[in-house]
């Protein structure tokens, strides 16, 4: 009935083989499948769940608000309440607009950038995923500045012809793009920390250099913080990495597990958006009151103390995972951590871009994934995705993780024995 039995390809097991697990419920740091088996969860709805599954304060907010109405199709005070929380934590967002998904947020930000600058071309980086809108489903052509090619059937070549693709973490190659197309470029869109080719942080100076290139050329910088926003700190991460985004896309955590995203940024840029400007964007369920309540309840819990604790627990989890690999004499394994985000690679060194990420040993990851699943650990079912911890994790869960993963690493030895 559903294509591939799923509503999003990343949920399938196409990259690891087998049939996806169907889950019935979540509780804190764990998931329970339809057969009653329990799993430590290292996916957490792809980073959206930061407080743990069914966090009581979030559930209460949803229940209370649902009794008052599920949707109005009209303004609600709850939209402004959540917007104020976000703005207080991220003052860079002088104006913002709620939407329902990260794809909507990035797609809308690109449209606003084009409308504001009067230019057509967008620069993205290979391996960066910014949702499934046609114009951003582009891959590099034969040269860095060559015309891009569609990365999906159903996307006409002319649609991505205005999308230029450069290698992530390669400032020289990005400079070449600007030397050839600078006056045509409306914006660069970038994940401050790439999380869709595994976890690949920017090298020193990369984001600062991209910022300088696009602003010198008169374009805008779009920070795609759908994953990183409110994940690593209360607010945005790109300002701490040397970038000054004009537009930002948010998602995942700001909805507390419900479908909420947003785009926002400089006041003069955002005031090009209808109804006060010429850039049109709309959504029937945008600002849904139940979703706004879930986001507000989630952000209320995100204190500096919570982030400090989550960082410590994630550091312990990373050390435990590495101990498991070392204890099983697994060579060719590397782990990358940024806060509560983990990248697990079967490679001799952490990848710095899409090309290096693609060279990681996918067969070993598949063996590791299924052995971990059998041991009660749910990892991202892809070698090029990022794992996430939630605040429901503690030392007990970390110790349990270490006990369960020893056999999984045994299955991932190079020989496969």
Full 3-state SS string of the chain:
CCHHHCCCHHHCCCCCCCCCCCEEEEEECEEEECCCCEEEECCCHHHCCCCCECCHHHHHHHHHHHCCCCCCCCCCHHHHHHHHHHHHHCCCCCEEEEECCHHHHHHHHHHHHHHHHCCCEEEEEECCCCCCCHHHCEECCCCCCCCCEECCCCCCHHHHCCEEEEECCCHHHHHHHHHHHHHHEEEEEECCCECCCCCECCCCCHHHHHHHHHHHCCCEEEEEECCCCCCCCCCCCHHHHCCCCCEEEECHHHHECECCEEEEECHHHHCCECCCCCECCCCCCCCCHHHHHHHHHHHHHCCHHHHHHHHHHHHHHHHHHHHHHHHCCCCCCEEEEECCEEEEECCCCCCCCHHHHHCCCHHHHHHHHHHHHHCCEECCCCCCCCEECCCCCCHHHHHHHHHHHHHHHHHCCCCCC
**pLDDT recorded at residue 417:** 42
**pLDDT recorded at residue 145:** 40
Average pLDDT for residues 128-140, to the nearest whole number?
Answer: 81
More confident site: 132 or 266:
266
pLDDT-above-90 percentage for the chain: 87
Report the mean per-residue pLDDT for the chain. Answer: 94
Ordered domains of the chain (ranges, CATH) = 3-55+303-411 (3.90.1150.10), 57-301 (3.40.640.10)
Local confidence band at 412 (pLDDT 50, 70, 90 cut-offs): confident
Local confidence band at 154 (pLDDT 50, 70, 90 cut-offs): confident
Give the catalytic positions in this structure.
129, 224, 252
Is the pLDDT assigned to residue 136 strictly greater than 90?
A: no
Is the pLDDT assigned to residue 93 strictly greater than 80?
A: yes
């Amino acid at each position: 009935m559903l294509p591939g039995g799923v509503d999003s390809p990343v949920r399938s097991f196409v990259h690891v083989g087998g049939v996806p697990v169907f889950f019935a419920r979540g509780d804190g740091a764990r998931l329970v499948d339809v057969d009653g088996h329990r799993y430590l969860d290292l996916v957490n709805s792809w980073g959206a769940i930061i407080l743990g599954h069914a966090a009581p304060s979030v559930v209460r907010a949803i229940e209370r608000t649902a009794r008052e109405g599920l949707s109005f199709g009209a303004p609600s005070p709850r939209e402004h309440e959540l917007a104020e929380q976000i703005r207080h934590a991220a003052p860079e967002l002088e104006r913002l607009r709620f939407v329902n998904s990260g794809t909507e947020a990035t797609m809308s930000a690109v449209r606003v950038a084009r409308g504001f600058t009067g230019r057509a071309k967008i620069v993205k980086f290979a391996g960066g995923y910014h949702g499934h809108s046609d114009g951003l489903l582009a891959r590099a052509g034969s040269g860095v500045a060559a015309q891009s090619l569609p990365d999906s059937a159903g996307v006409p070549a002319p649609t991505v012809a205005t999308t230029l693709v450069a290698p992530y973490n390669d400032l020289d190659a990005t400079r070449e793009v600007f030397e050839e197309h600078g006056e045509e470029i409306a914006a660069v869109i970038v994940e401050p920390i790439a999380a869709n080719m595994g976890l690949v942080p920017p090298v020193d100076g990369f984001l600062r250099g991209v910022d300088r290139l696009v602003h010198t050329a008169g374009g805008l910088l779009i920070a795609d913080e759908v994953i990183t926003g409110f994940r690593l700190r209360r607010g945005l991460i790109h300002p701490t990495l040397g970038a000054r985004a004009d537009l930002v896309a948010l998602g995942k955590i700001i909805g507390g597990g419900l479908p909420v995203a947003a785009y926002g940024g400089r006041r003069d840029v955002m005031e090009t958006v209808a109804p006060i400007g010429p850039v049109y964007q709309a959504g029937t369920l945008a600002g849904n009151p139940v979703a706004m309540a879930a986001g507000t309840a989630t952000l209320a819990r995100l204190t500096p103390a919570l982030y400090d604790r989550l960082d410590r627990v994630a550091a312990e989890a990373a050390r435990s995972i590495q101990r498991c690999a070392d204890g099983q004499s697994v060579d060719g394994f590397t782990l990358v951590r940024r806060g509560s985000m983990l990248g697990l690679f079967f490679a001799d060194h952490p990848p710095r871009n899409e090309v290096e990420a693609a060279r990681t040993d996918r067969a070993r990851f598949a063996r590791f994934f299924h052995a971990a699943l059998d041991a009660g650990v749910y990892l991202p079912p892809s070698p090029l995705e990022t794992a996430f911890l939630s605040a429901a994790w503690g030392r007990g869960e970390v110790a349990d993780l270490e006990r369960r993963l020893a056999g999984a690493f045994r299955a991932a030895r190079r020989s496969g024995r």
